[in-house]
Amino acid sequence: MTDSWATFGADLHLETRPGRGMRAGLTEALREAARSGRLAPGTRLPSSRSLAADLGIARNTVAEAYAELVAEGWLTARQGSGTRVAERARARRPAAAVPVRRPVRAQTSYSLMPGSPDLGGFPRAAWLSAARRALTEAPNEAFGYADPRGRVELREALAGYLARARGVYADPERIVLCAGFTQALMLLARTLRARRVREMAVEGYGLDEHQALLTGAGLRTRPLVVDGSGARTADLAGSAAGAVLLTPAHQFPTGAALTPGRRAEAVDWARSTGGLILEDDYDGEFRYDRQPVGALQGLDPDRVVYLGTASKSLAPGLRMGWMVVPGPLMEEVLAAKGHTDWSSSALDQLTLAEFIRSGAYDRHVREMRLRYRRRRDELVAAVGDRAAVSGIAAGLHAVLDLPPGGERAALRAAAWQDLGLRSLSSFRHPRASTAPREALVVGFGTPTQSAWAPTLAALVAALP
Ligand SMILES: Cc1ncc(COP(=O)(O)O)c(C=O)c1O
């Protein structure tokens, strides 16, 4: 606890602790400030008179503390230049930087790691002009603390877009903007735990990060079998799960679309048990063989939380995501969010709102859809009959099924080519009951345009 303090310059607080003699306390606080570098070498200290007045103590006490520190070598005192922190006062070097483990993958010359769009395709010019317009028109209150749901401009723009493009029943009042899908999932996990849900069903193949997040929030995850029709939602009946996380438009990573029958089964289960469906619509805009199938949420907006993200359509670095929350859940989700977090920057939100309103988002998605569709076609042609491309023509990744032993051989050969690749088995839930499939998950969206051709060639060279 601090019982007195003084400020040197703009922002250095000097704290003395109670329970020590005033002189000893001041001496120790000054010594520590010099030792730690908080008071930089050469810093001129206030005169003993003014520091004493600041601290409300006798001038002699300050003078004695200064003298002691001069004697110890922490301070210097010279006629005419006052008392300063000695040049070599900083005895303790700052601890060596602790290497921070970031979830960034090792860099390889070529990458077909799934999960990323072509970052070179980010629409810089269109984003910049949307940002300029958004900033010019932003009301002053946009620079202040805001509604925990996020800016109304973006919620309104998204409601229109999601209804039109994804068949989502979207009321701006029920949209919550988040720092990507990941934060939305975290908030929902917390909400479910607060509702005493213990178990959540997930797809038997999925992102390990999402499973770890749910487990970390205290939810047990139960894998559902995934086959060519998506997750086997019939298995929800009779399970102890209070919620299920699904990727209906394009199962991640196997690439199946959830069939209408299985969609209906999931909704029936949710209605009859009071369970919740979390719909991860991470790449729903990207379908190449037909119009995208509408979101599952349209079937029952009271039982399905729709989750979307700009991470595939624009860039993961934006950290922009959204969820459309059933009415009765809204208060609990906002309680989970509002107390701890204010989401992404209001200016980015206003920019995205303007980007959508102006039609730039549609144009960008259309352009990227063409780009990814062409790449997928080229991938299928280049692979020929050396692997079977499975999953629907959609999204930013494809699955290449390989003969027995092919997965390991391909990964080893890819390492020789310095090509980043992931096996399908690396996405398998640790308790999945079905036999692992030998396959590669190829993120054809990841390379930039100029890297695409050599990356594809490296992949073909790595196939058994
Ligand atoms: C299945 C799936 N869902 C959601 C996301 C998006 O996560 P976020 O919006 O947090 O970037 C990803 C990104 O890799 C994903 O693969």
For residues 171 and 315, membership in a common domain is answered with yes
For residues 79 and 163, membership in a common domain is answered with no
**Domain annotation covers residue 55:** yes
* Domain termination residue (choose one: 332, 358, 384): 358
Model confidence at 452: pLDDT above 80: yes
Which residue, by CA, sits nearest to atom 16 of ligand 1? 115
Q: Residue 454 — very low, low, confident or very high, per pLDDT cuts 50/70/90?
A: very high
**Domain annotation covers residue 184:** yes
Model confidence at 228: pLDDT above 80: yes
Model confidence at 207: pLDDT above 50: yes
* Domain termination residue (choose one: 358, 382, 417): 358
Atom of ligand 1 nearest to the CA of 253: 1
Contact indicator for 30, 74 with CB cutoff of 8 Å: yes
427 pocket-lining for ligand 1 (C-beta < 6 Å) = no
Q: How far apart are CA 166 and CA 161, in angstroms?
A: 8
Comparing 69 with 156, the larger pLDDT belongs to 156
Atom of ligand 1 nearest to the CA of 184: 10
For residues 146 and 58, membership in a common domain is answered with no
| Candidate from 181-190, 358-367, 429-438 with smallest mean pLDDT | 429-438
Q: pLDDT (tens digit, 9 = 90+) per residue, 140-158?
A: 999 998 888 999 999 999 9
**Domain annotation covers residue 135:** yes
Structure-token pair, residue 179: 């720092």
Rounded to the nearest angstrom, the distance between the alpha carbon of 458 and the centre of ligand 1 is 26
Q: How far apart are CA 226 and CA 223, in angstroms?
A: 9
311 pocket-lining for ligand 1 (C-beta < 6 Å) = yes
316 pocket-lining for ligand 1 (C-beta < 6 Å) = yes
Q: How far apart are CA 221 and CA 205, in angstroms?
A: 12
Q: Which residues of 229-244 are buried (b: 16+ CB within 10 A; e: fewer)?
A: ebbbbebbeebebbbb
Model's pTM, two decimal places?
0.80
**Domain annotation covers residue 454:** yes
- Please, what is the average pLDDT of the chain? 90
252 pocket-lining for ligand 1 (C-beta < 6 Å) = yes
Model confidence at 94: pLDDT above 70: no
Give the CATH number for residue 341.
3.40.640.10
116 pocket-lining for ligand 1 (C-beta < 6 Å) = no
Residue 248 in 3-state DSSP?
Answer: coil
Give the CATH number for residue 458.
3.90.1150.10
Domain count, the chain: 3
Give the CATH number for residue 13.
1.10.10.10
Model confidence at 5: pLDDT above 60: no
Rounded to the nearest angstrom, the distance between the alpha carbon of 178 and the centre of ligand 1 is 13
Residue to probe by mutation, ligand 1, list 208, 281, 311, 313, most atoms within 8 Å of CB: 311
For residues 220 and 353, membership in a common domain is answered with yes
Give the pLDDT mean for 57-85: 85
Rounded to the nearest angstrom, the distance between the alpha carbon of 66 and the centre of ligand 1 is 58
281 pocket-lining for ligand 1 (C-beta < 6 Å) = no
Q: Which contacts qualify for 66-73: CB closer than 8 Å, 24 or more apart?
A: 66/30, 68/27, 69/27, 69/30, 69/31, 69/34, 72/31
280 pocket-lining for ligand 1 (C-beta < 6 Å) = yes
Q: How far apart are CA 36 and CA 45, in angstroms?
A: 16
Q: pLDDT (tens digit, 9 = 90+) per residue, 361-413?
A: 999 999 999 999 999 999 999 999 899 999 999 999 999 999 999 999 999 99
Residue 273 in 3-state DSSP?
Answer: helix
Give the pLDDT mean for 228-256: 97
Model pLDDT, residue 9: 45
Alpha helices, H only, 253-343? 260-273, 327-338
Contact indicator for 142, 131 with CB cutoff of 8 Å: no
- Nearest residue to 346 via CA among 140, 122, 125, 172: 140
Q: Residue 436 — very low, low, confident or very high, per pLDDT cuts 50/70/90?
A: confident
Q: pLDDT (tens digit, 9 = 90+) per residue, 296-348?
A: 999 999 999 999 999 999 999 999 999 999 999 999 999 988 766 666 789 99
Contact indicator for 96, 61 with CB cutoff of 8 Å: no
Q: Phi-psi category of 41—alpha, beta or left, where left has phi over 0 and alpha has psi -120 to 50?
A: beta
**Domain annotation covers residue 9:** yes
For residues 354 and 366, membership in a common domain is answered with no
Q: Residue 11 — very low, low, confident or very high, per pLDDT cuts 50/70/90?
A: very low
For residues 40 and 179, membership in a common domain is answered with no
247 pocket-lining for ligand 1 (C-beta < 6 Å) = yes
For residues 220 and 293, membership in a common domain is answered with yes
- Torsion angles phi and psi, residue 76, rounded to 5: -125, 150
DSSP states of 31-97 as a string?
A: HHHHHHTSS-TTPBPPPHHHHHHHHTS-HHHHHHHHHHHHHHTSEEEETTTEEEE-TT---SPPPPP
Give the pLDDT mean for 181-189: 96
β-bridge pairing 419-420 and 110-111: parallel
361 pocket-lining for ligand 1 (C-beta < 6 Å) = no
For residues 133 and 255, membership in a common domain is answered with yes
Structure-token pair, residue 231: 């997750």
Q: Residue 47 — very low, low, confident or very high, per pLDDT cuts 50/70/90?
A: confident
Give the number of other CB atoms < 10 A from CB of residue 55: 18
**Domain annotation covers residue 457:** yes
Rounded to the nearest angstrom, the distance between the alpha carbon of 75 and the centre of ligand 1 is 55
- Torsion angles phi and psi, residue 157, rounded to 5: -60, -40
Q: Residue 12 — very low, low, confident or very high, per pLDDT cuts 50/70/90?
A: very low
Which residue, by CA, sits nearest to atom 14 of ligand 1? 115
Atom of ligand 1 nearest to the CA of 180: 9
Which residue, by CA, sits nearest to atom 7 of ligand 1? 181
* Domain termination residue (choose one: 335, 358, 381): 358
**Domain annotation covers residue 201:** yes
Give the number of other CB atoms < 10 A from CB of residue 131: 17
Which residue, by CA, sits nearest to atom 1 of ligand 1? 252
For residues 188 and 314, membership in a common domain is answered with yes
Rounded to the nearest angstrom, the distance between the alpha carbon of 18 and the centre of ligand 1 is 51
What 8-state DSSP symbol labels residue 320? -
Which range scores top for mean pLDDT: 27-31, 93-97, 125-129?
A: 125-129
Model confidence at 353: pLDDT above 90: yes
Q: pLDDT (tens digit, 9 = 90+) per residue, 284-294?
A: 999 999 988 89
Atom of ligand 1 nearest to the CA of 307: 4
Rounded to the nearest angstrom, the distance between the alpha carbon of 31 and the centre of ligand 1 is 50
Model pLDDT, residue 19: 53
Comparing 63 with 243, the larger pLDDT belongs to 243
25 pocket-lining for ligand 1 (C-beta < 6 Å) = no
Vertex 146: Cα angle to 144 and 147 (nearest 5): 170
Q: Residue 96 — very low, low, confident or very high, per pLDDT cuts 50/70/90?
A: low
Rg (CA), the chain: 29
**Domain annotation covers residue 101:** no
- Torsion angles phi and psi, residue 14, rounded to 5: -110, 120
Residue range of the domain that includes 222: 123-358
Residue 220 in 3-state DSSP?
Answer: strand
351 pocket-lining for ligand 1 (C-beta < 6 Å) = no
For residues 414 and 436, membership in a common domain is answered with yes
Model pLDDT, residue 29: 84
Model confidence at 1: pLDDT above 50: no
Structure-token pair, residue 244: 């299920």
Model pLDDT, residue 93: 52
Non-local (6+) Cβ contacts of 353 within 8 A are 134, 151, 153, 154, 156, 157, 158
For residues 268 and 317, membership in a common domain is answered with yes
207 pocket-lining for ligand 1 (C-beta < 6 Å) = yes
- Nearest residue to 195 via CA among 301, 333, 339: 333
For residues 77 and 132, membership in a common domain is answered with no
Q: Which residues of 209-220 are buried (b: 16+ CB within 10 A; e: fewer)?
A: ebbebbeebebe
Please give the share of the chain, as a percent, with pLDDT higher than 90: 69
321 pocket-lining for ligand 1 (C-beta < 6 Å) = yes
Q: Residue 32 — very low, low, confident or very high, per pLDDT cuts 50/70/90?
A: confident
Model confidence at 25: pLDDT above 70: yes
Which range scores top for mean pLDDT: 72-76, 81-85, 152-156?
A: 152-156
